[in-house]
Structure 1
Amino acid sequence: MSTRLPPLEALRYFECAARHLNFTTAAQELCVSQSAVSQKVLLLEGHLNYKVFERKPRQLLLTGNGEALFKSVHIALNQIRDTVNNIESHKQVSQLEVYCMPAFASRWLMPCINHFHQMYPDIDLNLAANFAEPNFQNEEVDIGICHDVTEQPSMAQSLLFRDYIYPVASPDLLKKISLKKPEDLNKTILLHDSLPQAKFGTSWSRWLSELNIEGVNVNNGYSFNQVDLIVQAAINGQGVALGRHALVAKEIANGRLVPLFEHSIEDGGIYVVCLKKLLERPQVANFIDWIKQQSTDFERDFNVNKVIQQANNHISKKYE
């Protein structure tokens, strides 16, 4: 008894012909000639050593063996077809829409996003950086990375890390102007957020008030409507910015910015959020696990107190 499978292509032709009980109709579905179908069926019968069709004038019937074989082949081909469709469907679902604030996207997320691609090359990530948060209920995005959130029954949210605000300036600016105490800010230009009440915005007035610092004129300086522009202006030595730790920590570490006065205040946190029902999607769960690990690494490597203390210890020697 033969243990070899019949030619799979011949089985496919046979299944189509048996389903229609017509070689011509089968040929049309398979986009081949009628003779090609007939030859494949003859090949199959030669391999099996029995007939699968009774060929009568203007009629094609299955033999008993042909009927039994058809049922098995039909089920098997459908299972293969369903499996392929499921795989294709999964590949499409592996597209991931992630919302993020523009400044956070450019200064925190983008430098490490290649690591995500290396870990999950089959997930197509589309990053939507926007000031306005999307409507999660309409599933415009799968995941959001947001500054502070409100509790909603349908949403799952996890704190990635707390955020902090403190003044920063470039080393070049500190060579020109001595900024040893907050009152010295009157000697230079302040860089302002033109939308201080917006999420992820900063306010010099609030920072000074929180720390009970008086005597600083907050009415002078330049204003910008994007946090990223404020950070870049500070790097360029155009003034002192009120920086968010999440956005300036790495710039401090590489020496492009210096924290001033050792005065920082906690200001909200960065959260990863999504609809609870989306947590079952592998690509959503993978991204959340990944960004949580990135956040843990960030807090370990760029602890706010450590970053400020180390930088101030350095500049206390260099600029005095």
Structure 2
Amino acid sequence: MLKHWPPLSSLRGFEAAARLGSFHKAAEELSLTQSAISQQIRSLEAYLEQPLFFRSGRSVALTDAGHDLLSTTQAMLQQLSVGIRRLGQYQKPNQLVLNTTPAFARHWLLPRLGDFRRQHPKVDLWIFSTDEVPDMATQTIDIAVRDDISSQAECSFRVLHADRLYPACHPSLLSVPGAQRTTLHGEREMDWSHWAVESGIDVGQQDQGLNFSDPGLLLDAACSGLGIALVSQLLSRKARADGLLQPLVDDTIRGPNWALLTHRDSESDPMARSFTEWLLANLSDP
């Protein structure tokens, strides 16, 4: 592992020169002189102990090492740019940062955001959706609503909703014989083995089919008529109301518990309380 990193300025100069194919154009883009860009590239090559460009008169071309470094550098600079832009969110006086799963954000929260906005127009809500459970002690997150989270340090913990699961499909598949319907497989509680243990009812599910790690994508697939799936009662409310999903049987089985984590620094925040009250009121809706 490198003991020291090359200067960021030299990596920016290299990226611009490599992307534009010209030290002169790179200098213009970065408001530097061409000699400054050349010096940055020479310093970077000396540091890496290998050439990054073939030089022929005024034209330059990347070596194999240069091509390799370009992809790495562009990805790093892009990630750094996004991270720096995101920091501006923390300067907003009415900012409320919510972490949740992509499935909850897309299928439950998004259809109801208009109502929340009408009731609380001054709350500048930032929805930070992640597949990974956040570390509330180290990340700047006010509240988290997830079905895969437990208590954490620096936070209050509250179970919001005990979800139920049921097998369903698009209404157009109801007339298709069970053996001819594709089975859509999910993970955790949405794996069909969970249904077999808890219910034992055969709805035509097969061991093979299509597999999804994201329960939201699993629900999308079922709603689009790709097959039968074990879906969340909570997340599928709008799909059923819109006529995109039909239960295969009346039985349901236990699903995950949706929980709320509130960072202790946000517990007395009126915006956090407003969102929590709105959330509880809407979770209880049929």
Q: TM-score range by the shorter chain?
A: 0.5 to 0.7
- Name the SS for the 1:115 alignment partner: helix
Structure 2: where are the runs of 5+ without partners?
1-90
Q: Within the alignment, does 1:121 sit opposite 2:109 as a pair?
A: no
Q: 1:241: which partner in 2?
A: 229
Tell me if the contact between 1:190 and 1:239 (Cα under 8 Å) persists in the aligned partners. Answer: yes
Deviation at 1:233, TM superposition (A): 1.6
Q: TM-score, normalised by structure 2?
A: 0.63
Tell me if the contact between 1:205 and 1:218 (Cα under 8 Å) persists in the aligned partners. Answer: no
- Name the SS for the 1:293 alignment partner: helix
Q: 1:210: which partner in 2?
A: 198
Q: 2:270: which partner in 1?
A: 282
Q: 2:100: which partner in 1?
A: 100
Deviation at 1:280, TM superposition (A): 1.1
Instruction: Provide the rounded CA distance (Å) in 2 between the counterparts of 1:127 and 1:155.
Output: 19
Task: Give % identity.
Answer: 27
Deviation at 1:113, TM superposition (A): 1.0
Deviation at 1:240, TM superposition (A): 0.3
Cα 1:120–1:243 shift into 2, 3 Å: same
Q: 1:150: which partner in 2?
A: 150
1:159-238 aligned at under 5 Å gives the runs 159-177=159-177, 185-193=178-186, 196-197=187-188, 202-213=190-201, 218-238=206-226
Instruction: Provide the rounded CA distance (Å) in 1 between the counterparts of 2:111 and 2:276.
Output: 17
Deviation at 1:255, TM superposition (A): 1.5
Q: Number of residues paired by the alignment?
A: 197
1:308-319 aligned at under 5 Å gives the runs none
Instruction: Provide the rounded CA distance (Å) in 2 between the counterparts of 1:157 and 1:280.
Output: 15
Q: Within the alignment, does 1:136 sit opposite 2:136 as a pair?
A: yes
Instruction: Provide the rounded CA distance (Å) in 1 between the counterparts of 2:113 and 2:226.
Output: 30
Instruction: Provide the rounded CA distance (Å) in 1 between the counterparts of 2:151 and 2:225.
Output: 40
Tell me if the contact between 1:204 and 1:242 (Cα under 8 Å) persists in the aligned partners. Answer: yes
Deviation at 1:228, TM superposition (A): 2.0
Cα 1:131–1:124 shift into 2, 3 Å: same
Write the deviation string for residues 186-227 of structure 1: whole angstroms up to 9, x where unpaired. Answer: 44210012xx13xxx511011111223479664211112322
Deviation at 1:160, TM superposition (A): 2.3
Tell me if the contact between 1:145 and 1:273 (Cα under 8 Å) persists in the aligned partners. Answer: yes
- Name the SS for the 1:168 alignment partner: strand
Deviation at 1:141, TM superposition (A): 1.0
Q: TM-score, normalised by structure 1?
A: 0.57
Tell me if the contact between 1:188 and 1:239 (Cα under 8 Å) persists in the aligned partners. Answer: yes
